[in-house]
């Protein structure tokens, strides 16, 4: 998005500001392509949770199996028309590091969290059209399973599960203090970027990426900490978010809690692949994962809030992937 031309920015603004255009293209897609598809309820996989927890690494790792279809940069900005977007979209993106400056690179074929454009509709529309939308994406990539990374889908686990009974949810959890520190740094980083280029702010809004920056939206109502430049705000948000996730989904057999720090362990990865029916791909490249919790955190933080967060973290560790 940082290197888009003025024309590309105008196109994105036009498409994303006009739901009628998006939905019209979606209806056209269904007329042309949906009749060719045999609808099946496969174990589609949804990655969700707080950003900076390893969601993108999980997405790239699983997508590299070549067993899944996912929305990619070649679908932008025609997110609701994955087949037609290949005709409309002739741009190329050379491999480069993403704006987060975290060592993760992408190109035109990289998967990304784009399906919020679809999910940002009323529940009735989602119930009626989710299977159609996923099957259009599957058709565009000639695959049988869908892979999604959407940090907002934690709010829709029950809804999605009611439509796709065989789906799997991967919810990564990262050590709370390091995670909160990463969230704080990304927030400051994106504020600077968005002040320099307002299209970055608009682009993130279009895709529902309000995790960081000028238009940040909290996941829960703050209790004791309201200052966004204070690590305690992010630590408290971590605690509220994951405590709620644990209580809601600890007994859901298709909700798999993934400990971020364990993703560098080949045996842990093997169990993960078995759980998502990819056991034949246990030689996938583990370089997608790295232990990012090496930085020393030299900021003051609330020991009582951290203590609560650590209890939640231990609860997840006791419920993580096991044979």
pLDDT value of position 302: 96
Q: How far apart are alpha carbons 173 and 313 in whole angstroms?
A: 8
**Mean pLDDT over the full length of the chain:** 89
Q: How far apart are alpha carbons 40 and 57 in whole angstroms?
A: 28
Q: Quick: pLDDT tens for 246-303.
A: 999 999 999 999 999 999 888 899 899 999 998 766 567 667 777 655 677 888 999 9
pLDDT value of position 38: 63
**What average pLDDT score do residues 176-183 get?**
95
DSSP 37-83: --------EEE-SSTTSSHHHHHHHHHTTS-EE--BGGGTT-TT-TT
pTM, full prediction: 0.92
Q: Tell me the domain boundaries of the chain.
A: 6-318
pLDDT value of position 35: 73
Indicate whether 103 pLDDT > 90.
no
Q: Quick: pLDDT tens for 112-122.
A: 889 999 999 99
- Which is higher by pLDDT, 50 or 5? 50
Q: How far apart are alpha carbons 148 and 111 in whole angstroms?
A: 9
The burial class, CB within 10 Å (0-12 / 13-18 / 19+), for 294 is exposed
Q: Quick: pLDDT tens for 252-266.
A: 999 999 999 999 888
Lowest-pLDDT range, 157-166, 261-270, 302-311?
261-270
Expressed in angstroms, the distance from the first to the final Cα of the chain is 42
The arrangement of secondary structure in 6-318, i.e. its CATH architecture, is 3-Layer(aba) Sandwich (3.40)
**What average pLDDT score do residues 32-57 get?**
86
Evaluate whether 146 touches 136 at the Cβ level (below 8 Å): no
- φ, ψ of residue 158 in degrees (nearest 5): -65, -40
The burial class, CB within 10 Å (0-12 / 13-18 / 19+), for 64 is middle
User: E strand or H helix at 116, and its extent?
Assistant: helix 116-119
Evaluate whether 56 touches 260 at the Cβ level (below 8 Å): no
Q: Quick: pLDDT tens for 72-90.
A: 989 999 999 999 987 766 5
- Cα dihedral sign, 273-158-258-246: negative
pLDDT value of position 104: 66
């Amino acid at each position: 998005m940082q290197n888009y031309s003025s024309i590309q920015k105008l196109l994105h603004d036009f498409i994303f500001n006009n739901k009628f255009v998006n939905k019209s293209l979606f209806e056209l897609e269904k007329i042309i392509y949906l009749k060719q598809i045999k609808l099946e309820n496969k174990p589609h996989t949804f990655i969700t949770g707080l950003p900076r927890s390893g969601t993108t690494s999980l997405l790239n790792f699983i997508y590299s199996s070549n067993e899944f279809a996912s929305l990619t940069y070649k679908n932008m900005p025609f997110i609701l028309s994955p087949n037609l977007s290949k005709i409309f979209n002739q741009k190329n993106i050379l491999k480069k590091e993403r704006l987060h400056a975290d060592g993760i690179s992408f190109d035109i074929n990289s998967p990304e969290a784009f399906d919020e454009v679809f999910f940002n509709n009323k529940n009735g529309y989602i119930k009626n059209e989710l299977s159609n939308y996923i099957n259009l994406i599957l058709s565009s990539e000639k695959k049988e399973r869908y892979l999604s990374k959407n940090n907002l889908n934690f709010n829709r686990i029950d809804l999605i599960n009611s439509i796709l009974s065989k789906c799997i949810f991967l919810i990564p959890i990262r050590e709370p203090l390091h995670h909160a520190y990463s969230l704080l740094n990304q927030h400051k980083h994106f504020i600077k970027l968005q002040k320099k280029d307002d299209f970055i702010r608009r682009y993130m809004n279009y895709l529902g990426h309000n995790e960081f920056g000028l238009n940040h939206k909290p996941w829960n109502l703050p209790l004791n900490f309201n200052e966004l430049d204070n690590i305690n705000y992010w630590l408290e948000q971590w605690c509220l978010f994951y405590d709620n996730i644990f209580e809601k989904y600890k007994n859901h057999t298709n909700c798999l809690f993934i400990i971020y720090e364990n993703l560098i362990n080949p045996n842990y990865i093997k169990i993960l692949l078995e759980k998502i029916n990819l056991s034949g791909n246990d030689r996938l490249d583990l370089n997608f994962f790295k232990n990012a919790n090496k930085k020393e955190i030299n900021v003051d933080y609330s020991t009582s809030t951290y203590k609560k967060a650590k209890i939640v973290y231990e609860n997840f560790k006791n419920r993580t992937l096991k044979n």
